[in-house]
C-alpha cells in the first residue's frame, strides 16, 4: 500500500461544513483516519445564532454546543486547534503547518469566508468590527454590551438581521447601504420597503443610497474609549460607539490560490466538489459551485452528505434542489426560495392583512422564485415544491 492511501483524510476548517462532513463520514465509516486543522478552537456552535446575540444578551460561551476536544472524541478525529495551515503541496499530497508537513490521502478545504470591510479613510478604520465567527463575537462582546450607538455597514441579509436585533436590544442603530433598498439582491421592492418600515419603527435609521467614506476618533470620550465620527458619501455625519461591517463575504481562497488550485470568487469545484487539483475538494462558504458561492447552511449540509460518499469511494454528484432561505428579522419575518432576481420579468403580488406573497416570474410567466412574509410564510413549502 502506498504512503498516500495510508495517509488520513485532512480537513482544513472546523465550521459547519467541516463538522457536517465528519458526521456524514462517521455515519457509515468508523475507521478512516481524519485530521482536522483549524485556525480556531474547533468549538461547535450554530453560526446563525450570532444574529440574535445582542437581543438575547448572550456571551460567546453560551453559543458553544460542544468543545473542539469533545467533538474530536465523539467523532473520532485528530484535532489540531488554533493551527493555521500555511501551504498545500498538491503534487506531494501534503499540507504545511509552519515547516512541518502532514500527508493526506484526500484533502478537504472548508475554510469558510471572511467579512468584507469596504475601503474607508480616517484614523478610526481599525475600529470596524465584524461578526462572522464566534471568535470575532468573543472579541467584541463586552464592547457590544456597552455600546449605545452602533453603525452597521451593509443592509443585506446579515446587516438587516443584525440591525433589527441590535435595535431590539435597545441600541440606537444606523444602517448604511449603497443600494436604494434593503437586501436589494434578494427582495422585491415592496417587501424591502415593509422591512425597512419595521426597522424604522424599532428606531433604526436607514441611510440608503449612501456609503461610509471616513471614520475618525472624536475628542470626547466615554468610559475610556473615544466615540467614532462616521462621515457618509452624502456628507451626513453621525457619532457612534461602534461600527460593524456586514457588507458581504469574501471566501477564503488564498491557501488554494497559492497552491495553484483554480479559484474564482470562491474555490472552484465541479459537481463532485472536486477542485482543479487531484484528491482536493472544497465545500461550504469557501466553495464556488456552478459559478456561485452559496454561503448558507443547507447547501453546505447537502455538499457534506455527497462528499462523504465520494471520499469513501462511492463517487456522488451534488444535487441542489430549490432551497428555502429564512431571514431572521422577527418583527417582519421573511422566507424566500429559488431565484428572485436574475431574469425576473414580472412580480405577482398578493397582499392582505396577514402578510404578503410575491412570485417571481420569467418572460414566459414561469415561476422562478418567491418571497413570502409574515403569516404568508405558511405557503413557503408548497411554493418551494412547485419550483
Ligand atoms: C450572523 C450570521 C447569520 C447567519 N444566518 C444564517 C441563516 O439564518 N441561515 C443559513 O443558512 N446561513 C446563515 N449564515 C451563514 C452560515 O452560518 C454559513 O454559511 C456557515 O456557517 C459557513 O460554514 P463553513 O464551515 O463553510 O465556514 P466557517 O464556519 O467560516 O468555517 C471556516 C473554518 O475554516 C478555518 N480556517 C480558515 N482558514 C484556515 C487555515 N488557513 N488553516 C486552518 N483553518 C482555517 C476557520 O478557523 C474555521 O474553522 C449566517 C452567517 C452569519 C455570520
- Rounded to the nearest whole angstrom, what is the distance from the C-alpha of residue 303 to the centroid of ligand 1? 14
- Rounded to the nearest whole angstrom, what is the distance from the C-alpha of residue 18 to the centroid of ligand 1? 10
Backbone dihedral angles phi then psi of residue 256, each to the nearest 5 degrees: -65, -45
- Rounded to the nearest whole angstrom, what is the distance from the C-alpha of residue 281 to the centroid of ligand 1? 17
Kindly state the average pLDDT of the residues 229-247: 98
SS3 category, 5: helix
Report the alpha-carbon distance of residue 4 to residue 214 in Å, rounded.
Answer: 52
Tell me if 361 CB under 6 Å of ligand 1: no
For atom 17 of ligand 1, which residue has the closest CA?
A: 47
User: 34-37 and 9-12: which strand pairing?
Assistant: parallel
**pLDDT value at position 4?**
45
Q: Taking a C-beta distance cutoff of 8 angstroms, is the pair 132, 114 a contact?
A: yes
Set of cell numbers at residue 328: 431572521
Whole-angstrom distance between the N-terminal and C-terminal Cα of the chain? 48
Give the pLDDT confidence of 162-195 residue by residue, as tens digits: 999 999 999 999 999 999 999 998 999 999 999 9
Give the pLDDT confidence of 64-97 residue by residue, as tens digits: 999 999 999 999 999 999 999 999 999 999 999 9
- Rounded to the nearest whole angstrom, what is the distance from the C-alpha of residue 306 to the centroid of ligand 1? 19
Nearest Cα to 242, choosing from 177, 183, 171, 328? Answer: 171
Kindly state the average pLDDT of the residues 361-365: 91
Which of 112, 159, 255, 295 to mutate for ligand 1's pocket (most ligand atoms within 8 Å of CB)?
Answer: 112
**pLDDT value at position 2?**
45
Tell me if 44 CB under 6 Å of ligand 1: no
Of 53-57, 286-290, 326-330, 343-347, which gets the smallest average pLDDT? 343-347
Query: For residue 61, how far is the Cα from the chain centroid?
Result: 20
Residue 224 has pLDDT above 80, yes or no: no
Give the pLDDT confidence of 8-53 residue by residue, as tens digits: 999 999 999 999 999 999 999 999 999 999 999 999 999 999 999 9
Tell me if 48 CB under 6 Å of ligand 1: yes
Residue 221 has pLDDT above 80, yes or no: no
**pLDDT value at position 220?**
58
Tell me if 13 CB under 6 Å of ligand 1: yes
Report the alpha-carbon distance of residue 115 to residue 263 in Å, rounded.
Answer: 18
Kindly state the average pLDDT of the residues 232-261: 98
Ligand 1 atom nearest residue 328's Cα: 8
SS3 category, 24: helix
Tell me if 175 CB under 6 Å of ligand 1: no
Which secondary-structure segment (H or E) carries 356?
strand 355-361
Q: In what order do the strands lie in the sheet with 9-12?
A: 78-80, 34-37, 9-12, 106-109, 280-282
Report the alpha-carbon distance of residue 163 to residue 150 in Å, rounded.
Answer: 9
Which of 83, 296, 302, 329 to mutate for ligand 1's pocket (most ligand atoms within 8 Å of CB)?
Answer: 296
Residue 243 has pLDDT above 60, yes or no: yes
Residue labelled with grid coordinates 455625519: 237
User: CA separation (Å) from 50 to 131, 158, 238, 272, 310?
Assistant: 7, 10, 25, 31, 32
Of 232-246, 248-262, 359-373, which gets the smallest average pLDDT? 359-373
Confidence of residue 5 (pLDDT cuts 50, 70, 90): low
Ligand 1 atom nearest residue 84's Cα: 42
Report the alpha-carbon distance of residue 168 to residue 54 in Å, rounded.
Answer: 8
Nearest Cα to 267, choosing from 286, 294, 291, 292? Answer: 286
Kindly state the average pLDDT of the residues 130-145: 95
- Rounded to the nearest whole angstrom, what is the distance from the C-alpha of residue 114 to the centroid of ligand 1? 8
Nearest Cα to 151, choosing from 222, 63, 195, 210? Answer: 210
Residue 145 has pLDDT above 90, yes or no: yes
Provide the whole-model pTM. 0.94
For the chain, percent of residues with pLDDT exceeding 90: 92
Which of 37, 42, 111, 336 to mutate for ligand 1's pocket (most ligand atoms within 8 Å of CB)?
Answer: 111
Kindly state the average pLDDT of the residues 280-295: 97
Residue labelled with grid coordinates 413557503: 380
Nearest Cα to 108, choosing from 1, 14, 28, 42? Answer: 14
Kindly state the average pLDDT of the residues 326-339: 95
- Rounded to the nearest whole angstrom, what is the distance from the C-alpha of residue 234 to the centroid of ligand 1? 34
Strand partners, 274: 281
Average pLDDT, the chain: 95
**pLDDT value at position 372?**
97
SS3 category, 294: coil
Set of cell numbers at residue 346: 414580472
Kindly state the average pLDDT of the residues 304-313: 98
**pLDDT value at position 225?**
63
**pLDDT value at position 130?**
97
Which of 10, 11, 12, 13 to mutate for ligand 1's pocket (most ligand atoms within 8 Å of CB)?
Answer: 13
- Rounded to the nearest whole angstrom, what is the distance from the C-alpha of residue 59 to the centroid of ligand 1? 18
- Rounded to the nearest whole angstrom, what is the distance from the C-alpha of residue 253 to the centroid of ligand 1? 14
Residue 6 has pLDDT above 90, yes or no: no
Report the alpha-carbon distance of residue 196 to residue 216 in Å, rounded.
Answer: 28
Residue 118 has pLDDT above 80, yes or no: yes
Set of cell numbers at residue 218: 472624536
Amino acid at each position: 500500500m502506498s504512503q498516500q492511501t495510508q495517509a488520513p483524510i485532512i480537513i482544513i476548517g472546523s465550521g459547519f461544513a467541516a463538522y457536517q462532513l465528519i458526521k456524514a463520514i462517521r455515519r457509515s465509516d468508523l475507521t478512516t483516519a481524519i485530521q482536522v486543522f483549524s485556525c480556531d478552537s474547533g468549538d461547535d456552535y450554530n453560526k446563525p445564532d450570532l444574529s440574535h446575540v445582542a437581543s438575547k444578551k448572550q456571551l460567546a460561551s453560551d453559543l458553544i454546543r460542544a468543545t473542539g476536544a469533545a467533538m474530536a472524541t465523539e467523532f473520532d478525529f485528530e484535532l489540531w486547534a488554533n493551527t493555521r495551515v500555511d501551504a498545500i503541496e498538491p503534487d506531494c499530497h501534503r499540507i504545511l503547518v509552519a515547516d512541518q508537513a502532514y500527508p493526506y490521502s484526500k484533502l478537504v478545504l472548508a475554510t469558510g469566508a471572511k467579512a468584507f470591510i469596504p475601503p474607508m479613510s480616517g484614523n478610526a478604520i481599525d475600529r470596524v468590527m465584524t461578526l462572522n465567527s464566534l471568535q470575532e463575537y468573543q472579541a467584541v462582546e463586552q464592547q457590544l454590551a456597552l455600546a449605545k450607538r452602533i453603525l452597521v455597514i451593509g443592509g443585506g441579509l446579515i446587516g438587516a438581521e443584525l440591525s433589527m436585533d441590535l435595535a431590539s436590544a435597545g441600541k440606537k442603530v444606523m444602517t448604511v447601504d449603497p443600494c436604494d433598498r434593503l437586501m436589494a439582491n434578494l427582495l422585491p421592492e415592496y417587501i424591502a420597503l415593509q422591512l425597512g418600515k419595521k426597522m424604522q419603527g424599532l428606531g433604526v435609521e436607514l441611510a440608503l443610497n449612501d456609503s461610509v467614506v471616513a471614520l475618525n476618533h472624536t475628542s470626547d470620550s466615554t468610559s475610556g474609549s473615544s466615540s467614532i465620527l462616521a462621515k457618509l458619501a452624502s456628507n451626513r455625519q453621525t457619532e457612534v460607539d461602534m461600527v460593524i461591517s456586514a457588507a458581504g463575504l469574501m471566501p477564503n481562497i488564498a491557501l488554494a490560490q497559492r497552491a495553484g488550485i483554480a479559484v474564482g470568487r470562491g474555490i472552484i469545484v465541479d459537481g463532485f466538489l472536486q477542485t482543479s487539483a487531484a484528491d482536493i475538494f472544497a465545500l461550504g462558504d469557501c466553495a464556488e459551485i456552478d459559478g456561485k458561492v452559496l454561503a448558507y447552511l443547507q447547501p453546505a449540509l447537502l455538499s457534506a452528505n455527497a462528499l462523504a460518499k465520494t471520499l469513501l469511494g462511492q463517487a456522488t454528484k451534488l444535487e441542489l434542489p430549490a432551497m428555502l432561505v429564512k431571514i431572521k428579522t422577527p418583527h417582519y419575518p421573511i422566507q424566500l426560495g429559488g431565484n428572485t432576481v436574475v431574469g425576473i420579468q414580472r412580480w405577482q403580488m398578493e397582499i392582505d392583512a396577514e402578510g404578503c406573497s410575491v412570485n417571481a416570474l420569467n418572460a414566459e410567466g414561469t415561476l422562478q422564485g418567491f418571497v413570502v412574509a409574515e403569516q404568508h410564510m405558511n405557503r413557503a413549502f408548497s411554493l418551494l415544491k412547485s419550483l
